[in-house]
Structure 1
Amino acid sequence: MRPVGAPGAPSRLDLERYELEFDENFGGTELNRDHWLPYYLPQWSSRAATEARYDIRAGCLTLRVDADQAPWSPEFDGEVRVSSLQTGLWSGPLGSPNGQHRFRPGLVVREPQAASRLYTPRFGVVEVRAAATDDPDALVALWMIGVEDAPERSAEICVVEVFGADVGPGVAAVGMGIHPFADPTLVDDFSVLAQPIDARELHRYAVRWTPDEVAFYLDRELVRVIGQAPQYPMQLMLNVYDLTGPGHEGRYPKEFVVDYVHGYRPR
């Protein structure tokens, strides 16, 4: 049975009409700084406070949150800790409310950031091959946000979001969808769908983004289609969160293993 949604997306992801433009296979031992900024929304905190912790070995990236890691922005996000990579960045001046991903009211720039666009596609396919964790205090995700060169260009496409508490040996609840934020042309459409996979193993999660729709794929099979789409460039956000805060006697490190991230443009 075909997944519910708009009829345009193919039931299996076919890349024949696309060409690879963002080829991140995590070779070597160093992060490719032409691809990634190793911070998490540093305009609302600082680069020092949001610098990612990670390892690269055997062709895989492991993002991690360690037991001694501090919250990234206690002022605005409480005790949440995160290690994240992103492919674009900018902010307004110190003290201004202007910056990417205004996730709550009252945000103020604490460290101005120069504009950087390392990879900011407009339409195409984005795919990650990754293994989630079953740590009940962790969340792993790949999402895309508008570059927000205008306030309304701020929507999110969530490629994949997995809470460790929702991971079992034969099934996982996988989040995917669109959040409009300040984009008045879109409506919120986000789902968490049970999938018959062991998400602790490597799986491929992808979106096929066109001017008319966003289609979501798991291991290149269609899962759902949303019949609306952002119309402006977006950047990638790849991260693992610890949702408990310092001092919690849980499992450490929290880890998100990523084999590759690929971006394709239409031929």
Structure 2
Amino acid sequence: MADHEFMSDQAFHDDFDAPSLDDSTWSPYYLPQWSSRAASAATYQLADSCLTLSIPTSQGLWCEGDHQPDLRVSGIQSGNYSGPVGSTVGQQPYRDGLTVREQQEPFWGWTPAGGYVELRAKADLSPRSMVSLWMVGLEDQPDRCGEICVMEVFGDALVPGESAAVGMGLKTIRDPAVPQDFEAVRLPLDLREFHTYAVRWGDGTATFSVDGVAIRSCQGAPTYPMQLMLAVFDFPSLGGGDHVPTFVVDYVRGSG
């Protein structure tokens, strides 16, 4: 695959006003090559100019019987592909030796190699759930797999109505050129209210901001095309009842 196949050199804005998800940009399946489209489909709705990702109590486990800990997830992503069934070629394997269960044809929505990404969103979490917007290399080459995490919040790191520990930064994954430079910064915000989370990156530098205020900057950011990953997660092994976590997204926008 060549870089010119990737959709990157343009401004991007999805305010989720349409009656259906834009399937030229988003795939509503979370890393389906390790599971299947049927078993990784997101629970979501579009209403009031927002995308709401949720995990109802009836939703099954992702990669049941293999992924540890048990995980349920509703997510959308702006790229995906895999090798054939039985191969180890695929994005974001969660353990060594993981093999493809359902082959995925190459899909590239918006995949910038630098620029700006901003999310406006709110979430309702329990101590066993989390939300995140992150970007990962397409892995069209095995080492192009580094991560830029725009925001990551765990429900057990909230002081409801007062503050949240917002994770942001770089993650090496399997790319030795990308440093592990990630930090959860406690900020005085109520996650149940709308806030904006953003990153501006280029020439190896990534600067992260919340509500227009720069929080931290990292060196060594990937310079290859990245796909967006946006999801809510639930970890049933932590217990805690029947709360349905939600991630309400007003818009995603950026330039690349």
The answer to whether TM tops 0.5 is yes
Question: Aligned equivalents of 1:157 and 1:115: distance in 2?
Answer: 21
* Alignment of 1:76 onto 2:102: no
Q: 8 Å contact 2:133–2:150 — kept in the other structure?
A: yes
* Alignment of 1:180 onto 2:172: yes
Shift of 1:253: 2.1
Question: Aligned equivalents of 2:198 and 2:100: distance in 1?
Answer: 32
Runs of 4+ in 1 over 3 A off after TM superposition: none
Aligned to 1:243: 235
Shift of 1:251: 3.4
Question: Aligned equivalents of 2:18 and 2:48: distance in 1?
Answer: 8
Q: 8 Å contact 1:132–1:201 — kept in the other structure?
A: yes
Aligned to 1:38: 28
Paired amino acid for 2:231:
N
Aligned with residue 254 of structure 1, among 227, 245, 252 = 245
Q: Runs of 5+ in structure 2 lacking a partner?
A: 1-8
1:20–1:201 distance in 2 versus 1, CA, 3 Å: farther
SS of the residue aligned with 2:33?
A: helix
- Equivalent pairs, count: 246
* Alignment of 1:122 onto 2:113: yes
Q: Runs of 5+ in structure 1 lacking a partner?
A: 1-18
Shift of 1:228: 1.4
Question: Aligned equivalents of 1:176 and 1:76: distance in 2?
Answer: 28
SS of the residue aligned with 1:74?
A: coil
Shift of 1:200: 1.2
Structure-1-length-normalised TM-score: 0.88
Aligned to 2:57: 67
Aligned to 2:99: 108
SS of the residue aligned with 1:217?
A: strand
Q: 8 Å contact 2:204–2:219 — kept in the other structure?
A: yes
* Alignment of 1:151 onto 2:142: yes
* Alignment of 1:57 onto 2:52: no
SS of the residue aligned with 2:66?
A: helix
Aligned to 2:131: 140
Paired amino acid for 1:184:
P
Q: 8 Å contact 2:55–2:244 — kept in the other structure?
A: yes
Aligned to 1:90: 81
Paired amino acid for 1:68:
S
Q: 8 Å contact 2:128–2:240 — kept in the other structure?
A: no
Q: 8 Å contact 1:143–1:236 — kept in the other structure?
A: yes
SS of the residue aligned with 2:196?
A: strand
Identity rate, percent: 45
1:133-173 per-residue CA deviation (whole Å, 9 max, x = no partner) reads: 23111100000010011110001111000111222211111
Question: Aligned equivalents of 1:86 and 1:184: distance in 2?
Answer: 24
Question: Aligned equivalents of 1:185 and 1:81: distance in 2?
Answer: 31
Structure-2-length-normalised TM-score: 0.92
Shift of 1:211: 1.5
